[in-house]
Amino acid sequence: MHLLSTRDLDRDTAIQILDVAEDMAQTADREVRKLPPLRGKTVVNLFFEDSTRTRLSFESAAKRLSADVITFSAKGSSVSKGESLKDTAQTLAAMGADAIVVRHHDSGAAHQLAHAGWIDASIINAGDGTHEHPTQALLDAYTIRERRFGHEARGRDLEGMRVVIVGDIVHSRVARSNVWLLATLGAHVHPVAPRTLLPHGVDEWPVTVHEHLDDALALAPDAVMMLRIQSERMRDAFFPTAREYARVWGLTAERFARLGPDTMVMHPGPMNRGLEISSEAADSDRSTVLAQVTNGVSIRMAVLYLLVAGSSTTDSGEGER
Ligand code: NCD
């Protein structure tokens, strides 16, 4: 089984992952934090793009489940000598990888790895181009559910909640994965961005698009998710100046002060402070930025556990959700 896109998750499966993540979070308070289910399994982190928190998070999740972990970053490897994804996959197959966590600059790379028949391992998409980043959306949904329901979160969805997603949506795999997952869990999603940062096809998403940030914030949302301006993916000018962007589209101190006391402020990191988010908002007690990082480990433990622990080498690769 693979995890390639949140589009493939039905409501019950999504809730099951959140509930298992909750179990995993509870084990973090124990004296011995290591659990045995992936003993003897090999998890490979295959990172063709830079990453700090996602890579560390998967590494720590796999180790907490007692897997052997190999981390492979494309810089300094034969990939920079032109080795293809196929050759890399076949090398990893020869090493006996049970799961491959892949981040790649091409949208569709995780899908290709899962379906090209090069390797018989569970593939977990850790971000493919501007396409999807499913574990980020799962940890975001977990964070919203936990903040809202506390100890009574188990088994629940996000029915009727309002989530505003702001900024560089066109380049954001985090936004795409969140749109599908939040909608499946019953939340109302409200993207807001300058037209230049909205993707073609947004009209077909299960969302309500807004043109003005202040209109969206006036909805008294449960959560406001600020997205990073992804300058590394921008070849053209998508907005006049950084200052203008911060004024019109940023969660400034003034806008933050107008939010209701129960609105959580989210950001997947890394943050551009002073651009899409002010330090007043990022460092406030309504910010979930660090909780998102902590919850990320529990979510990745849950995903690895559900995909890898149950499967023996003979049945892995069979079927897909
Ligand atoms: C995101 C990513 O890489 O897609 N970051 C992350 O996984 N924590 C978002 C981003 O880079 O802005």
Laid out side by side, the sheet with 122-128 consists of: 68-73, 42-47, 99-104, 122-128
**Mean pLDDT, the chain, whole residue set:** 93
The per-residue pLDDT for range 292-314, each reduced to its tens digit, is 999 999 999 999 999 999 764 44
The model's pTM: 0.94
Residue 88 is classified by DSSP as: H
The per-residue pLDDT for range 136-147, each reduced to its tens digit, is 999 999 999 999
From the CA of 8, how far away is ligand 1's center (Å)? Answer: 21
On whether the CB atoms of residues 289 and 282 are closer than 8 A, the answer is yes
| Residues 211-231, mean pLDDT to the nearest whole number | 96
What pLDDT band is residue 317 in, cutting at 50, 70 and 90? very low
CA distance 177 to 62: 22
| Residues 219-239, mean pLDDT to the nearest whole number | 91
- Ligand 1 atom closest to 172 (CA): 4
Ligand 1 contacts CB of residue 111 (under 6 A): no
What pLDDT band is residue 233 in, cutting at 50, 70 and 90? confident
Ligand 1 contacts CB of residue 268 (under 6 A): yes
- Ligand 1 atom closest to 227 (CA): 12
- Ligand 1 atom closest to 127 (CA): 4
- The percentage of residues in the chain with a pLDDT greater than 70, rounded to a whole number, is 95
The per-residue pLDDT for range 51-100, each reduced to its tens digit, is 889 999 999 999 999 999 998 887 766 766 667 888 988 988 898 999 99
Which pLDDT belongs to residue 310?
Answer: 73
Residues 6+ apart with CB under 8 A from 61: 297, 298, 300, 301, 304
DSSP character string of 105-160: SSTTHHHHHHHSSS--SEEEEEEETTTB-HHHHHHHHHHHHHHHHGGG-TT---TT
Ligand 1 contacts CB of residue 148 (under 6 A): no
On whether the CB atoms of residues 174 and 198 are closer than 8 A, the answer is no
From the CA of 127, how far away is ligand 1's center (Å)? Answer: 8
Which of 242, 240, 238, 178 lies closest to 207, judged by CA?
178
Q: Is the dihedral of CA 73, 74, 78, 80 positive or negative?
A: negative
Ligand 1 contacts CB of residue 263 (under 6 A): no
Which pLDDT belongs to residue 314?
Answer: 40
Please tell us whether the domain made up of 6-132+293-314 is placed in CATH 3.40.50.1370.
yes
According to CATH, what is the number of the domain 134-291? 3.40.50.1370
What pLDDT band is residue 229 in, cutting at 50, 70 and 90? very high
> Which segments of the chain belong to CATH 3.40.50.1370?
6-132+293-314, 134-291
- Ligand 1 atom closest to 228 (CA): 12
From the CA of 230, how far away is ligand 1's center (Å)? Answer: 9
